Structure 1
Amino acid sequence: MGRCAIQLVTGPAGSGKSTYCQTMQEHGLTLGRNRRRFHVVNLDPAEHFKYDVAFDIRDLISVDDVMEELQLGPNGGLVYCMEYLLENMDWLQENLDNFDDDEYLILDCPGQIELYTHIPVMNKIIDQLKLWGYLDKMVSVFVVDATFVTEPAKFISGSLLALSAMISLQLPHVNVLSKCDLVEEASMERVLEMESALQLWDVLGDGEGSALSMFHELRPKKSARSEEEDKLVRKRQERERKWNRLTVAICSLLDDYSMVGFIPLNINDEDSISHVMLTTDHAIQYGEDNEVRGMDFDDGDGFGADE
């Protein structure tokens, strides 16, 4: 049996990963002759979702059970669950082996950033998947809330998280801006059209906190301030200068890599959803070698006949 295509959906908690999975699953059934069935897998032991699940990690272990039995908090319970999965990868392998090589799985992964940074749990899971033959069949999708674009500092932070995940997971990588239907389109496009992170900070940054102002001396303006007030002003300006230097360094890091870009996703726009789907397909050349075949549906959903 061949290996199915796998999409790992990651991103901060609350960024809309489960909604993304549900949207892709529903969209696949509306593509006429090209309709597809996305099998969505829940790998978040604390997740509550609305999509049709192919298999669920909570059948193996759940955060609620761990918290109750081991008296751990939510984050500690989640880490324990993922480490437990790592020790019982045969469960995951048995479930994956049920899918043919022309099928497509979307893995809804946990949102705790610790799992992708200083705790190497997800890296080890991906390494095992590679050993099973999925090396050229996996793509990582990092989901960031589009409301981040309303504030340059948040958007730069989200970009840095996306870069960190891309480097850590070492997979073909696609960054998606979710919840675009909640953000003014003109404001979002203005940010996405910026040529660099430094330009973004210079143009939309917080006045004195912009990158260009860092290269000029910040001197207190002459006024009738008291000596004590002057000291406070100088301290504030010095603090801003230090934070500004850090921001410029982060922006320069993003510009140096030149590998962080985002695809907007509006779940109310079919063209937007299709664009995201085609981009992830292209990342792993999904479907290029597959034979065209009809899809059989057992649930009586009426998709078996052409309209």
Structure 2
Amino acid sequence: MRYAQLVLGPAGSGKSTYCATLQKHAADDKRTIDVVNLDPAAEYFDYQPLVDIRELIHIDDAMEDEDLRFGPNGGLIFCMEYLLENPEWLEEQLGEGDDDYLLFDCPGQIELYTHMTTVRQLVELLQRWNFQACVVFLLDAQFMIDGAKFLSGTMAALSVMVNVELPHVNVLSKMDLLSKTARNQLDSYLEPDPHSLLGEMETKSKWGVKYRRLTEAIGRIIEDYSLVRFYPLNVRDEENIADLLLTIDNVIQFGEDSDVKTRDFDYPDDDDEGGDT
């Protein structure tokens, strides 16, 4: 069995930083986690990718081609579709190892996950290649301190969950960048009350008053899907990183098929059993 995290989230949510952080944490723990860069527009990241989509196709190829002439968004979509049309390249790059653990650092174009089938097709390929996978959906912590942003981010995460159809872990990134006051409100960020946060929208804007029933309906959807639990990520806290990785490992059942150790300690010699005479 092989294992994978599909690291998704809006642009600027810290996906590449997350991948680099987990890779370094694993190396310090004598464990191997490799990263696959699937962002054809990436310019810089802090990890050495095992596979890099830019070796197959770069966004400039789609934007500068005389026949295509795509913009940035269209170019990203074209590159991802081109990758899926050439799955043998990706399969060859990934190899046929056993017990591989990969992070797929995906582009920040949210429509690739929310209403297109691109990522779902990628998931089907990975499952065919014996990968046990889950989605790690990153949101900047600032989305939890404002009702409107909370609504937008949570509904995006819900849309990804429904569209991709994989086990789903929501992560609040950039917790280390929050102010001291915001960090003191950590509990309300991790398990926010949608009605409380959405209620702020009702009292602060004419739109909120006019569409109160719609707001309440959205709040019920969020509660019904139990998608209002988030895991914090402070990239400067090794214990926090270890706890998050353990949670994700449990979700994808990493290590459950490992050989059981039959000897964890030294047995006493037969001569020692009788003691002194």
The partner residue of 2:139 within 141, 144, 166 is 144
Equivalenced residues, count: 255
CA contact (8 A) 1:149 1:188 kept: no
When residues 200 and 192 of structure 1 are mapped into structure 2, their CA distance, relative to the original with a 3 A threshold, is: farther
CA contact (8 A) 1:159 1:260 kept: yes
Where do 1:1-80 residues align within 5 Å? 3-31=1-29, 35-48=30-43, 49-69=45-65, 70-80=68-78
Where do 1:111-130 residues align within 5 Å? 111-130=108-127
1:105 match = 102
Deviation at 1:12, TM superposition (A): 0.7
1:155 match = 150
Partner Cα distance (1:107, 1:123) in 2: 13
- Residues 118-151 of structure 1: per-residue CA shift (max 9 Å, x gap): 32111112122223332xx111100101111221
* Paired AA for residue 201 in structure 1: L
The partner residue of 1:242 within 202, 206, 210 is 210
When residues 77 and 268 of structure 1 are mapped into structure 2, their CA distance, relative to the original with a 3 A threshold, is: same
Where do 1:190-269 residues align within 5 Å? 190-194=188-192, 196-202=193-199, 205-206=200-201, 208-209=203-204, 237=206, 239-269=207-237
Give the structure-1-normalised TM-score: 0.78
Partner Cα distance (1:287, 1:105) in 2: 14
- Residues 45-79 of structure 1: per-residue CA shift (max 9 Å, x gap): 11131211101001000101211113210001001
Partner Cα distance (1:45, 1:207) in 2: 41
1:166 match = 161
1:216 match = none
Query: Percent of counterpart pairs with the same letter?
Result: 49
CA contact (8 A) 1:13 1:111 kept: yes
2:272 match = none
Deviation at 1:243, TM superposition (A): 3.1
Partner of 2:120, secondary structure, is: helix
Partner of 1:29, secondary structure, is: helix
Deviation at 1:117, TM superposition (A): 2.4
> Does 2:252 align with 1:280?
no
2:90 match = 92
Partner Cα distance (1:56, 1:292) in 2: 35
Deviation at 1:206, TM superposition (A): 4.3
Deviation at 1:257, TM superposition (A): 1.4
Deviation at 1:207, TM superposition (A): 6.3
Partner Cα distance (1:102, 1:124) in 2: 22
CA contact (8 A) 1:162 1:260 kept: no
Partner Cα distance (1:190, 1:261) in 2: 10
When residues 23 and 104 of structure 1 are mapped into structure 2, their CA distance, relative to the original with a 3 A threshold, is: same
Deviation beyond 4 Å, 4+ runs, structure 1: none
Partner Cα distance (2:23, 2:138) in 1: 16
- Flag structure 2 segments of 5+ consecutive residues without an equivalent: 262-277
2:174 match = 179
* Paired AA for residue 119 in structure 1: M
- Residues 137-192 of structure 1: per-residue CA shift (max 9 Å, x gap): 11110010111122122112211111111111111111110000111311232332
Partner of 1:14, secondary structure, is: coil
Partner Cα distance (1:128, 1:21) in 2: 21
* Paired AA for residue 128 in structure 2: L
When residues 206 and 168 of structure 1 are mapped into structure 2, their CA distance, relative to the original with a 3 A threshold, is: closer
